[in-house]
């Protein structure tokens, strides 16, 4: 299929075009897929990524583990019970966030390289480590909305093939006229992992879906909607026109919930800016103020943060310690942070841990048992910028 627009023409704003074309790629079981690349002997076996201890959840699992009920976000102790019942041979692997971040960086490089090769410069918005939206609107204008979406198919195939060839990883791709429907498209079955939802199919696809398919509807909001009788998108579509959803889910989501239920989602693809911070956080199995448990965790974090700074060629000027004290009632304790800006830029893990421990002790953070503890580095300066020489 020949592309309808001239890619050499500087793209205008997506608002200047009649038909929106949004693509999202979603890496399949990303953390698990990265681990299987490193340990191919585990391919075909049930594998769970997560720490098998209290206060931990499953980060991801292979299809073989999902087949007997394990799912992302499930408490690892609950998942372990399912493993004992169905597959005692399930392999548990620890979370290696730095490895996933680095692989995510490489995938994004592939995407940008392919776009550059096609002489496209779309807005790209990453979501976490394993998803990204691309606004292909300026490059996919046909005579109809459906034809415009079809023009994205060869682009999707090229991206999917490039990621597979260069990174040995599979992904799902969804294409639609807005972000919500593109995301829903990734969950539709398709033989090649690429699925399009056309506007004329919304009346068939949307009604049976659970309300949690609507962006902004998480577990808590879903429960609030269910308590007042709204379990599926069809239920919301059937609500009286003057029904005030803001009373149920708040003003921000309530004002647009009805539109979203009918597939109307004007949210733009927001181009990523440079990272503003890198962070790590640990939730302890049991509340603790034992420095023999706390300091080793912070040291691991400091080394990983040094790696991220070096990867992006940044130097930091701010260290922040993020923490939450333990309580019999978790909801009673709010997250807190203490930070300090330093005159000298730094990347070394030894400097990061020294600054973090200084904040930890000077603010008496460890006087009460901690539920969670983490470090952030911020206030970035490019490492290519010469450091200012102090004359006095």
- Is residue 98 within 8 Å of residue 305, measured between CB atoms? no
- Is residue 357 within 8 Å of residue 365, measured between CB atoms? no
- Spatial distance between the Cα atoms of 263 and 203, rounded to a whole number of angstroms: 9
Would residue 131 show up in a list of annotated catalytic residues for this protein? yes
- Spatial distance between the Cα atoms of 87 and 256, rounded to a whole number of angstroms: 44
3-state SS, residue 373: strand
Q: Which helix (H) or strand (E) holds 288?
A: strand 277-288
- Spatial distance between the Cα atoms of 279 and 359, rounded to a whole number of angstroms: 16
The catalytically annotated residue of 35, 103, 125, 131 is 131
Alpha-carbon torsion (272, 274, 277, 282), positive or negative: positive
- Spatial distance between the Cα atoms of 262 and 237, rounded to a whole number of angstroms: 7
- Spatial distance between the Cα atoms of 94 and 45, rounded to a whole number of angstroms: 16
Q: Which of 306, 272, 283 is nearest to 374 (CA)?
A: 283
Residue with tokens 């209290």: 54
379 torsion bin: left (phi>0), alpha (psi -120 to 50), beta (else): left
Q: How many CB atoms lie within 10 A of CB 309?
A: 22
In the DSSP assignment, the letter for residue 28 is T
Residue with tokens 């009604």: 207
Contacts 24+ apart (CB under 8 A), 61-66: 61/29, 61/32, 62/29, 62/32, 62/36, 63/29, 65/90
Report the first-to-last Cα separation within the chain, whole angstroms.
Answer: 67
Question: Residue 387 contacts by C-beta under 8 Å, 6 or more apart in sequence?
Answer: 344, 345
Question: Residue 35 contacts by C-beta under 8 Å, 6 or more apart in sequence?
Answer: 42, 47, 49, 93, 96
User: So which residues are the catalytic ones?
Assistant: 131
């Amino acid at each position: 299929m020949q592309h309808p627009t001239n890619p050499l023409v500087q793209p205008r704003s997506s608002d200047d075009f009649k038909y929106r074309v949004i693509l999202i790629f979603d890496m399949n079981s990303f953390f698990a897929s990265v681990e299987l690349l490193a340990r191919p002997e585990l391919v075909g076996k049930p594998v769970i990524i997560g720490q098998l201890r209290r206060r931990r959840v499953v980060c991801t699992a292979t299809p073989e583990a999902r087949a007997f009920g394990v799912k992302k976000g499930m408490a690892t102790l609950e998942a372990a019970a399912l493993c004992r019942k169905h597959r005692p041979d399930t392999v548990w692997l620890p979370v290696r966030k730095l490895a996933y971040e680095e692989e995510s960086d490489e995938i994004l490089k592939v995407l940008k390289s392919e776009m550059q090769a096609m002489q496209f410069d779309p807005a790209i918005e990453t979501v976490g480590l394993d998803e990204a939206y691309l606004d292909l609107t300026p490059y996919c204008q046909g005579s109809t909305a459906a034809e415009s979406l079809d023009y994205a198919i060869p682009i999707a195939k090229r991206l999917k093939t490039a990621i597979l060839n260069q990174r040995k990883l599979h992904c799902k791709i969804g294409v639609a006229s807005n972000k919500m429907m593109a995301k829903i498209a990734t969950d539709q079955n398709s033989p090649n992992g690429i699925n399009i939802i056309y506007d004329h199919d919304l009346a068939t696809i949307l009604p049976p879906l659970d309300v949690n398919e609507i962006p902004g509807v998480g577990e808590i909001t879903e429960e609030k909607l269910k308590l007042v009788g709204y379990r599926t998108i069809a239920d919301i579509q059937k609500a009286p026109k003057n029904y005030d959803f803001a009373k149920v889910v708040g003003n921000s989501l309530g004002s647009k919930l009805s539109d979203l239920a009918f597939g109307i989602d004007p949210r733009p693809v927001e181009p990523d800016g440079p990272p503003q911070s890198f962070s790590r956080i640990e939730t302890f199995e049991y509340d603790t103020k034992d420095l023999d448990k706390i300091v080793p965790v912070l040291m691991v974090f400091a080394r990983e943060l040094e790696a991220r700074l070096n990867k992006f060629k940044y130097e930091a000027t701010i260290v922040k310690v993020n923490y939450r004290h333990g309580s019999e009632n978790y909801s009673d304790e709010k997250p807190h942070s203490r930070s300090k800006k330093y005159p000298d830029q730094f990347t070394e893990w030894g400097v990061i841990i020294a600054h973090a421990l200084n904040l930890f002790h000077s603010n008496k953070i460890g006087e009460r048992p901690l539920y969670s503890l983490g470090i952030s580095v911020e206030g970035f300066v490019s490492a290519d910028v010469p450091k200012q020489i102090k004359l006095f």
